[in-house]
């Protein structure tokens, strides 16, 4: 029999890579964590962790088991919220993860308009790069993701999409001949970002390999472009005001603007709760999303 104590210890070791740090986080002794790992491995029937120098890392079996372990706690949290919502009849809750660009320029307005109609709904918004949001959805730690196209190797379903245009921008007065596109500094998002992946695809399509400056914030990229530091591929939604004011200019290239789609995505192997379905319906009816498939009824 697997206990929640064993599972919690395993997930903390997975997160921190250390028995000592996991023990500190759980406020228990190191021998207690080690014993929990050993008993969990016996219960599962597979070696879940192994030494990596001074650290602990998951085995292949451990990485697979971790996903299910996190889902256990996600389901417990969901059950707790559901019971409280029914008992209190006052509030409902769901979670969304969104990539940075969508979180800055699309999701806030969508949530604000939805909560004007559904005042009793509490929403948790988690913001991260492409890799982060899919990991959260895979583990059932959020109900929905707003991002680019989802990975094909995960059990996910795109429920609706929305138009999303990518353009190249530069500071006012910037020269944009092909030579300058190849030699100018390009401001790019960090590895793991969907925007970074699109940017690299653009470089390949333009047959250029320019200098790159990696920046982890869309806002900082916009500020750097305005300051004349370089060019960037960005979402048009994020620079509408700067384009209108002349703080930046759109740079014509042979491949832009790029027609992309925002994807509203759920886990295919998880039942959608009522409040989640209500948000999906709102996004389609009033939020500019177009349905791609209708999830089966609960």
Mean pLDDT of 70-89: 74
pTM metric for this prediction:
0.67
Q: Which CATH class is domain 91-163+261-291?
A: alpha beta
pLDDT at 164 > cutoff 70: yes
At residue 52, the pLDDT reads 85
Mean pLDDT of 52-80: 86
pLDDT band of residue 137 (cuts 50, 70, 90) is: very high
* CATH number for the domain whose boundaries are 164-260: 3.40.190.10
Mean pLDDT of 280-296: 84
pLDDT at 294 > cutoff 70: no
- Name which of 138-142, 175-179, 236-240 the model is least confident about: 175-179
First and final C-alpha spacing in the chain? 30
Classify residue 222 as exposed, middle or buried by CB count within 10 Å of its CB (0-12, 13-18, 19+).
buried
Pairing mode, if any, of strands 49-52 and 55-58?
Answer: antiparallel
Domain borders along the chain are 4-67, 91-163+261-291, 164-260
Q: How far apart are CA 212 and CA 55, in angstroms?
A: 33
List pLDDT tens digits, range 195-223. 898 999 999 999 999 999 999 888 899 99
pLDDT band of residue 119 (cuts 50, 70, 90) is: confident
Give phi and psi for 65, each to the nearest 5.
-65, -30
Q: How far apart are CA 187 and CA 216, in angstroms?
A: 10
Domains 91-163+261-291 and 164-260 alike in fold: yes
Contact 5, 36 (CB under 8 A): yes
Mean pLDDT of 89-93: 64
Q: What is the chain's length?
A: 298
pLDDT band of residue 178 (cuts 50, 70, 90) is: low
Helix axes 30-44, 4-16, angle to 10 degrees: 110
The 3-state DSSP class for residue 250 equals strand
CATH of 4-67, one of 1.10.10.60, 1.10.10.10, 1.20.1050.10, 3.10.129.10: 1.10.10.10
At residue 194, the pLDDT reads 82
Contact 265, 148 (CB under 8 A): no
Q: How far apart are CA 2 and CA 105, in angstroms?
A: 44
pLDDT at 163 > cutoff 80: yes
At residue 202, the pLDDT reads 93
pLDDT band of residue 282 (cuts 50, 70, 90) is: very high
List pLDDT tens digits, range 16-47. 999 899 889 888 898 999 998 888 988 898 99
Max Cα-Cα span within the chain: 68
């Amino acid at each position: 029999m697997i206990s929640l104590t064993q599972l919690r210890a395993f997930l903390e070791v997975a997160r921190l890579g250390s028995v000592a740090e996991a023990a500190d986080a759980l406020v228990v002794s190191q021998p207690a964590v080690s014993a929990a790992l050993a008993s969990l491995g016996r219960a599962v029937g597979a070696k879940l962790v192994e030494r990596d120098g001074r650290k602990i890392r998951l085995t292949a079996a451990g990485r697979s088991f971790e996903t299910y372990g996190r889902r256990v706690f996600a389901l417990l949290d969901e059950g707790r919220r559901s019971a409280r919502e029914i008992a209190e009849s006052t509030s409902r809750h769901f979670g969304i993860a969104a990539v940075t660009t969508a979180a800055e320029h699309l999701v806030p307005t969508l949530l604000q308009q939805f909560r004007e109609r559904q005042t009793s709904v509490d929403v948790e918004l988690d913001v991260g790069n492409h890799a982060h949001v899919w990991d959260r959805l895979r583990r059932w730690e959020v109900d929905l993701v707003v991002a680019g196209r989802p990975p094909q190797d995960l059990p996910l379903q795109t429920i609706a999409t929305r138009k999303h245009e990518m353009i190249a921008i530069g500071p006012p007065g910037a020269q944009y001949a092909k030579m300058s596109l190849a030699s100018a500094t390009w401001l790019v998002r960090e590895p793991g970002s969907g925007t970074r992946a699109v940017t690299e695809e653009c470089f390949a399509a333009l047959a250029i390999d320019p200098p790159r400056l990696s920046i982890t914030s869309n806002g900082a990229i916009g500020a750097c472009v305005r300051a004349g530091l370089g060019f960037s591929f960005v979402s048009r939604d994020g620079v509408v005001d700067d384009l209108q004011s002349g703080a930046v200019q759109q740079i014509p290239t042979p491949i832009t603007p790029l027609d992309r789609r925002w994807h509203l995505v759920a886990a295919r192997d998880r039942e959608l709760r009522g409040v989640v379905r209500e948000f999906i319906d709102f996004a389609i009816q009033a939020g500019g999303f177009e349905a791609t498939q209708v999830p089966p009824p609960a």
